């Protein structure tokens, strides 16, 4: 079993923004694997799927990004998952648009959603898939940048990276973290 969590903010005003690319990836995963999201037993929605004989639980928190940790811990408890059986998928402005990095653990890098996950699970040792959204913003405009939609000229790259992240997530499940890292990093 595996728990794949896409981070983002709920609400129509956040759809298609850089900060919601984690939601976009688990949405694409659910679609690819023929499932839809239903309410979970906590502040999240879940799509249950099977892949290569394994049960997968795709999760989207229904509270705001900065409070993602409570959703993750409730989902982990509901589906009896440990941190190493989970993958957190989220935006990272420290990576160039179109880059991805799969890691077994690490610091939050200033990402408030990941910081909250670390705090709530009590560890930084949870696999994560960081999705590069670029950092083309003036000093002091970080919040506006991450909450902005992708520019038209970026959409082809975004679509490609979502597909790549979907495959990376499936390889995490099917091949394991180490092999998936060797293939995709």
Q: What is the pLDDT of residues 21-54, one digit of tens each?
A: 999 999 999 999 999 999 998 899 999 999 988 8
Active site (catalytic) residues: 19
With beta carbons less than 8 A apart as the criterion, state whether 97 and 91 touch. Answer: no
Reduced to 3 states (helix: H, G, I; strand: E, B; else coil), residue 5 is strand
Q: What is the dihedral of CA 138, 146, 135, 87, to 10 degrees?
A: 160
pTM for this prediction: 0.95
Mean per-residue pLDDT, 109-129? 92
Average pLDDT, the chain: 94
pLDDT digits (tens, 9 = 90+) for 169-180: 999 999 999 999
User: How far apart, in whole angstroms, are the C-alpha atoms of residue 75 and residue 169?
Assistant: 18
- Going along the chain from its start, the domains and CATH numbers come out as 2-184 (3.40.50.1470)
Length of the chain in terms of residues written: 185
Reduced to 3 states (helix: H, G, I; strand: E, B; else coil), residue 159 is helix
With beta carbons less than 8 A apart as the criterion, state whether 19 and 53 touch. Answer: no
- Phi, psi angle pair for 40, to nearest 5°: -95, -175
Residues with Cβ within 8 Å of residue 56, at least 6 apart in sequence: 1, 2, 3, 4, 33, 48, 49, 50, 173
């Amino acid at each position: 079993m595996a728990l794949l969590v896409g981070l983002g903010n709920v609400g129509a005003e956040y759809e298609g923004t850089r900060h919601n690319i984690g939601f976009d990836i688990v949405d694409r995963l659910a679609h690819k694997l023929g499932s839809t999201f239903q309410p979970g037993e906590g502040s999240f929605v879940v799509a249950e799927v099977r892949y290569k004989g394994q049960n997968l639980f795709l999760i989207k928190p229904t509270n705001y990004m900065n409070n993602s940790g409570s959703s993750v811990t409730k989902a982990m408890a509901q589906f009896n998952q440990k941190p190493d059986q989970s993958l957190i998928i989220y935006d990272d402005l420290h990576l160039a648009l179109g880059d991805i990095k799969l890691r077994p653990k690490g610091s939050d890098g200033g990402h408030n959603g990941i910081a909250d996950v670390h705090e709530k699970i009590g560890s930084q040792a949870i696999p994560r898939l960081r999705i590069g959204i670029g950092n083309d913003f003036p000093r002091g405009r970080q919040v506006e940048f991450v909450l902005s939609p992708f520019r038209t000229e970026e959409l082809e790259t975004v679509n490609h990276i979502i597909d790549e992240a979907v495959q990376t997530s499936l390889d995490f499940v099917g091949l394991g973290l180490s092999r998936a890292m060797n293939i995709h990093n």
